[in-house]
Structure 1
């Protein structure tokens, strides 16, 4: 399968920022039909999912935390969230909150720029004013003004939802895209007309430590056709969000970046990234050199284990 790559020009720059992944919480089991469809035979729930945060360390000494996920005392969320969580029947495992993890790693709480605006000046990000630019289909904001970290206007899941784009190396440029809740599963993002399912996936998604490969080919096309979908359609459509049509259009913009070999897209609840990527205090900046993109891009296909077995493609 093949398709053309969209002409997305990423901004040039020399300044990088250090990105470190933090996973303070796992939750589940999640019933898939609450979030995505159409159904896949043999796949009804996810056992557990992470909720990522990221520590961003700028060369100036400034430190940011992007995306805080579920708080440790989650019943002290806003009433709407606190009342919703029990209806999910999740087991929520928050052994430590982000601040505790950072402190154990040698980062003092006072070194992190505050996300609570009580006693602070609240400045709204303007993706159309000074420091604004366009990245692919996104209106963007150059947070530090030096090209190291951009905020991307990515509404749909929630009003004002933002993604982050961090430059992890320069000459050549590589980036980590912090997707947040732009979608809840890699199978809502992939495949696409820009990034079709490859003929061969190595290692096999169901056996990441082995030497075997998965050749999805006709089996993938058959699965999609049985669900009224094309081979280059995503595995799932989104069914959860404040504005699902808008969120779906936002995912379409993200797909134009996701197909680029120098961009690693990490959405907040991707368990394959949790299981294969280095966590804080290690950084993600050498992700491309270490081949992390290849390891996680199609790893979500492990969730089709029952289907691959039925087609004799699991071994």
Structure 2
């Protein structure tokens, strides 16, 4: 670890660990000009298919949470997304790509959506972009957690605003907006490794929601403690390709981030996390390589995979 790096919070004597499963929840076509700054000249036909990876997080006493909901099913496209998104959905070739959504994936693994107690919208990424919010209606007992900067998007969302690309939350769902400056009921952690601030969601060091601004207002990452001295870091849409953080030689595109200067600062923090903290394995939402490397629900959780990855990273360090 670099001498200037702030150590990640250590395990406590009676540390609680999370069980984290990866779930596939759709996919899309992403033009490279939306991914890399050095590809701005490329036409939209130049790009790649990418997955959407969501996460089921199980705490031994606080129950089950989801980090993102992924995409809506293909049959919901016409009625499920704001009309203002049509051009974007056409460019990203979304139609027909999600025959089974996250609800289907959970039920196949024996998990009823009613068991989910929290949905973390990374927009707090999870976030309020169309490919992350899915269909929240089946999650009848879930509280939605968002970054406070994302509240402005909801205050003027579709359908109240017919021109908004953001979808309003169901009226019967409670939303908890986290303000990192004054997190109130959550313990503030500042810094968390290379990041300026985070909150300890359960108060036991098992799950940190990390302020990761730039992509959209209120964008979040999540650091999940899955084993002794072992984290899986869910980086959301900090970037859309591993080359932007490992090794980090390609800048994120100005076309895909609301605040590009801040987004690039956040991406640099992810590079530092990957380089200087071998006990944290990074996973971004749309990583095609991770899709081939990781186990997926309902098969094995990520603990064994993460421990193997961390051992390899420590041997290289």
1:133 corresponds in structure 2 to 189
Name the SS for the 1:23 alignment partner: strand
SS in structure 2 of the partner of residue 286 of structure 1: helix
**Distance (whole Å) between structure 2 residues aligned to residue 52 and residue 292 of structure 1:** 20
Distance 1:120 1:291, change over 3 A: closer
Distance 1:18 1:74 in 2: 32
CA contact (8 A) 1:287 1:293 kept: no
Contact 1:162 1:180 in 2 (8 A): yes
Judged with a 3 Å threshold, the aligned counterparts in structure 2 of structure 1 residues 96 and 47 are, in CA distance, closer, same or farther, namely same
User: What is aligned with 1:183?
Assistant: 239
**2:2 equivalent to 1:11:** no
RMSD of Structure 2 on Structure 1 (CA): 2.7
- What does the per-residue CA deviation read over 1:45-97, in whole Å, with 9 as the maximum and x for residues that have no partner? 44310011100000015100101222212441233334421133456511211
After TM superposition, the structure 1 = structure 2 runs for residues 220-231 of structure 1, keeping only pairs within 5 Å, are none
Residue pair 1:17, 1:148 contacting (<8 A) in 2 also: yes
- Distance in 2 separating the partners of 1:92 and 1:265: 29
| Counterpart-to-counterpart distance in 2, 1:237 and 1:61 | 36
Counterpart CA distance in 1 for 2:48 and 2:91 is 17
The reply on whether 1:287 has 2:285 as its aligned counterpart is: no
Say if 2:70 and 2:102, in contact at 8 Å, map to a contact too: no
| Structure number with higher relative contact order (C-alpha < 8 Å, ≥ 6 residues apart) | 1
Distance of 1:110 and 1:6 partners within structure 2: 45
Any stretches of 5+ residues in structure 1 without a counterpart? 193-233, 296-315
- For residues 65 and 301 of structure 2, the distance between their equivalents in structure 1, rounded to whole angstroms, comes to 14
Q: 2:253 aligns with which of 196, 221, 238?
A: 238
**Please, what TM-score do these two structures have when normalized by structure 1?**
0.72
User: Deviation of residue 121 (structure 1)?
Assistant: 3.2
2:217 alignment counterpart: 159
Counterparts of residues 69-108 of structure 1 (less than 5 Å): 69-72=70-73, 73-75=76-78, 76-90=80-94, 92-108=96-112
Counterpart residue number, 2:51: 50
> C-alpha distance in 1, partners of 2:49/2:266?
26
What is the aligned counterpart of 2:295 among 274, 278, 282?
Answer: 278
Q: Unmatched 5+ residue regions in structure 2? A: 118-141, 145-168
1:204-250 Cα distance to aligned partner (Å, 9 max, x none): xxxxxxxxxxxxxxxxxxxxxxxxxxxxxx13443321111110011
Say yes or no: does 1:250 pair with 2:252.
Answer: no
Q: CA deviation at 1:24?
A: 1.8
**Conserved? CA contact 2:28–2:93, under 8 Å:** no
SS of corresponding position for 2:303:
coil
> How many Å apart are 1:288 and its aligned residue?
3.5
Other structure's SS at 1:48 match: strand
Q: CA 1:289/1:253 → structure 2, altered by over 3 Å: closer, same or farther? A: closer
Match of 1:121?
Answer: 174
Q: Extract structure 1 runs of 4+ deviating beyond 6 A.
A: none
**Aligned residue in 1 for 2:280:** 263
